[in-house]
Amino acid sequence: MATTNLFKAKINGISVTEEQLKEGLIVDYPSGMGGTIRCECVALNKEGAEFLPANKSLPKWLGFTVRFNQPDLSLADFQALEEALTAFSAFKKHPSTEDRALVVKAHELGYVNQSSYTQANWTPKGLERLEELASAQ
């Protein structure tokens, strides 16, 4: 099982781990507009953690949710993901709805970085996981 969005939360540039999570924890999280937003863990339970902007004048939708025990991608998913990422970088092929959904899921798990509607690429974590799954075959 996997955890979503946690890899993007950082303290001093280092990704936060599940063991570090606690209410009141302050992290830096990508803002989606360039830069980062300081967010505070306001709720933690067995399903996940909720983070809201530490600056209370910012809208709550700038926060994020970490979800524990989410289904991980299989080797077949990773093979489909390779095709989907190719569609993101091709001039004559466009990502399908299924490609986009797979990339969003992989982005939440930290396997790819989707920086915009038209840009997505592997992360080191994604390449490591792909290699692990392929070598286990």
Same-domain status, 59 and 31: yes
Domain span at residue 43 reads 6-67
pLDDT band at residue 137 using 50, 70 and 90 as cut-offs: confident
Looking at 17, 41, 67, the residue that finishes a domain is 67
Q: What is the pLDDT of residue 34?
A: 77
Same-domain status, 84 and 46: no
CA distances from 131 to 18, 51, 80 (A): 23, 32, 15
| pLDDT cut 70: percent of the chain above it | 99
Residue 86 has φ and ψ, to the nearest 5°, of -65, -40
Q: What is the mean pLDDT of the chain?
A: 90
Based on the structure, what is the number of domains in the chain?
2
Q: What is the pLDDT of residue 2?
A: 86
Q: Cα separation of 83 and 97, whole Å?
A: 13
Q: Write the pLDDT tens digit of every residue in 65-95.
A: 999 999 999 999 999 999 899 888 876 678 8
